[in-house]
Structure formats: C-alpha cells, structure tokens
Amino acid sequence: MRGNKLVGAQIGCGAFANAQHLPNMASMDDICIKYCCDPNLKNAQSAASKFGGEQAVSDYSQIIQDTELDFLTVATPHDMHLPIVRAAAANGKNVFCEKPMALSLEESNEIIRAVKHGGIKLCVDLNRRMAPSMLALKKRYLEQLANPKHNSWRYIETDREELPEEKTSHFLIRIQDESSSYRMIHLDPAHGGGCIIGESVHWLDLACWLFAPARPIEITAWGNVRMNHGIFLKFDNGNSATLDFSSCGTFDYPKELFEITSRAALFRNLFFVENRYYGIPGLDSETFPLQADDFKDSIPQEGFDAFMAKNLAKNQNAGGNIRNDTRQLVVDKGHRNMMQGFFDAIRNNTQTPCDEYCGLQATLLAQLAIQSIKCKSTLPVLEEELHPAIL
C-alpha cells in the first residue's frame, strides 16, 4: 500500500480494460494505478497516459515482484488467466480476473490451488450479480418467497392439492446479440473458446447466484458450441433456469432480458435499467441510472423507454460505424460494484463478491453445456467437481 491507497497494475490494456477496469480504478481516490501492462507497449502507454498509470510495461513478469503492488486486474485473452494468477499468487498479489476464470475444470483447479497456496484474494468479474438492478430484483424475489402477496382477483384451483412443481421458481434469460460483437480471439478454441465459455458463464453464474444456496445438479444444452445455443439448468430444490442465446440479433435492441416466475408472480429485468413486477399488489416498477449517460440533459428520464429513446438518438447521430460515436451510453451491469467489492475484501480480509469457487462453477457448467451439445444428452453436475478437494 501507499498510505491508505491500494497499489495495482492493469494487465491487458485492450478495449474492455479501457472501457471498465481503468476508468473505474481512476475514479477511486483510494486506488493507485502504478503499472499499465500490455504486450503491445503502445497500448500500455496510451492507457497509462489516459488513466494516470505511472509506468507502462510490455511484460507482467517485469512487475510481478514489486513489493508495493497489492493487486492485479487482468483483462487478457482467456488462456492467459492461469499463468498470470499462478505468478501473482506466488508473489502474494491479489487478483481481479476477467471472466471466464479459466477455460477448463483442470485450469480452474490449478487456479484454486495457486490461490490457496499464495493466501491471496481472487475475484472473478462475473459482474451481473453485482448490477444494482439485479440486486434489487433478487431482493424483491426473496421478499415474495418469504411473505407471498397476491392480487385479490387471483384465481386458485381449490379442488386439488398444490403440485411440487408449482412451488418452484424458473429463471428465463434471453440474449440477442449481433455476431459482429465477437472477434476471432473470442471464437478461437485455444484463446477464447467460443460464446458458451466466453459469454454464457455470465448467465450461468447469475442463475447460481440467484438460487443460492440451491446447487445445480443437471444440465441440458442444444445448438452450436461456438455461437447460438440454449441451456437448461436444474437445481436440487426443483428450481430451473433456461438460457436462450442468439447471435443473430440486432444492436438496435438491448441484448439482455431476464424474467423470474415464482409462486404466481413475475419479476422482469429490462436490460439493467428497469425492473417490472407483476402479480404482487402495491409493488411498483423500479428504474436505475446508467453507468455513463451523455444524453441525460436532452432525455433526463430513467427506465427502459427512456433508454430506448437515448439509444435511438445515439444511433441516428453515429457515423458509418456506431462504435465511432464517442458519446457514452452505458448501462450499469455491476462492473464497478464488483471491483469495489474486491477492494473491500482486500482491506477487510473478507470473501470477495465472486471468488475462485464461483469462477470454477461457471467454467464447469459451461464445459458441461458444450459436452451436452456434442453428445446430445443431459449431464449431471457432480458435487465433487463443484467443490474439489485441493491440498
């Protein structure tokens, strides 16, 4: 540490680090970015200049033994996570690691082993569980389970007993994206592994977080192991989750929609900007501010309809490629909250918001989904693989 500041290094200074990790750290008064590191030194130099990094380097081995460093934030290709975490742990450096934590169960076990031996904190940026709107949705859902409330006009069948499946909850996750989102490094089996391991770990983790402490016990998947796919996940208390992932969609409409159905109620999350609740008397919708909003002066309202109006304004005034529009319109998916939780865990010696076992769970489920598609069968989720005995 340097005074009351945690001292860190950004490993990997590509587009995502520039969009989330670096600006989030730069905005925190108690964080010092000592190094920006990238194999392309120009990327590291640009990031250091833009976000106040003190030094730019091209090789993380140049800095890993710096005794002043408290943590590394890692936004590299997926296949680099294990060697970086292993080196960091051996040198007592805490790690904030982008998803997926690893590409395989074997790599996940090695990361857990390194974390245990090094006595460090590790946090995996499976950020959806820390989005303000998702935290609110889970809170409302658990309140309804604990104290069910229904509209007076609700119809109830009285000629039979309630069936077991009527006492369960289902989580529906609809993802519509454009395939141009994914560069070859995301799709290459050795570096990115495809959309199930690279992207769907987000939503597999979200389902597990939502239904915890229930444990996933069975998985069925279909479709394509590289892009378009579906996954059905069953839990030991009868709850279930369905993920429908399509890369054939459009950037003109938000990517993510979530719905929980449970005990005659519907909890709906509209792309992290609005929650709507149905079947529960007196429970109003909730809206959530964006992480970055350069349209708030012209459209000050919050919520889904306002976001769509802002998105339309951004698209209409963009150039030939929307990514060239420098104006910010970013929903809050929980990246900053997750990072703040990681720093709090270091300071207070507590568990991180998404530790190495959560990272293993997401990778394992993604691996099983890929295997399920290949063999066209339902597969068990084994307890001994979810909680390995690591010496």
- For the packed helices 105-118 and 81-90, what is the interaxial angle rounded to 10 degrees? 10
Is pLDDT above 70 for 93?
yes
Q: What is the per-residue pLDDT for 62?
A: 93
Burial code of 138-172, b = ≥16 C-beta within 10 A, e = fewer? bebbeebeeeeeeeeeeeeeeeeeeeeeeebbebb
The Cα 104–Cα 47 span in angstroms is: 31
Higher pLDDT: 1 or 99? It is 99
Q: According to the model, what pLDDT value does residue 173 have?
A: 98
Report the pLDDT averaged over residues 349-375: 98
Exposure on the CB side of residue 90, measured as CA atoms within 13 A: 10
User: How does DSSP assign 170-226, residue by residue?
Assistant: EEEEEEE-BGGG--HHHH-TTTT--HIIIIIHHHHHHHHHHHTTS-EEEEEEEE-SS
- Res. 391 pLDDT band, cuts 50 70 90: confident
Q: Binning pLDDT at 50, 70 and 90, where does residue 50 land?
A: very high
pLDDT at 324 over 80: no
What pLDDT score does 271 carry?
97
Q: Where are the domains of the chain?
A: 6-126+345-355, 129-333+366-375
pLDDT at position 300 over 60: yes
Residues forming a β-bridge with 223: 229
Whole-number percent of the chain with pLDDT over 90: 87
End-to-end CA distance of the chain: 30
How many residues belong to the chain?
Answer: 391
Question: Parallel, antiparallel, or unpaired for β 379-380 and 169-176?
Answer: unpaired
Q: Is the pLDDT of residue 49 over 60?
A: yes
| pLDDT averaged over every residue in the chain | 95
Residues near 72 by Cβ (< 8 Å), separated by ≥ 6?
8, 9, 10, 11, 60, 84, 88, 93, 94, 95, 96
pTM: 0.95
CATH dotted code for 6-126+345-355 = 3.40.50.720
Q: How far apart are CA 389 and CA 391, in angstroms?
A: 7
pLDDT above 70 for 322: no
Mean pLDDT for 146-151 is 93
Q: Which residue in the block uniquely carries the two structure tokens 């109620």?
A: 265
May I ask the CATH architecture of the domain 129-333+366-375? 2-Layer Sandwich (3.30)
Q: Which of 27-31, 79-83, 153-157 has the lowest mean pLDDT?
A: 153-157
Identity of the residue numbered 100: P
Quote the distance between the C-alpha of residue 275 and its chain's center: 18
Tell me: pLDDT of 333 over 80: yes
pLDDT band, very low/low/confident/very high, at 335 (cuts 50, 70, 90): very high
| Structure confidence by residue, pLDDT tens digits, 274-299 | 999 999 999 989 999 999 999 999 99
Q: How many CB atoms lie within 10 A of CB 68?
A: 11
Confidence category of residue 317, pLDDT binned at 50, 70, 90: low
What pLDDT does residue 158 have? Answer: 85
The pLDDT tens digits of the residues spanning 209-267 come to: 999 999 999 999 999 999 999 999 999 999 999 999 999 999 899 999 999 999 999 99
pLDDT at 218: 98
- Crossing angle (nearest 10°) for helices 356-375 and 105-118: 170
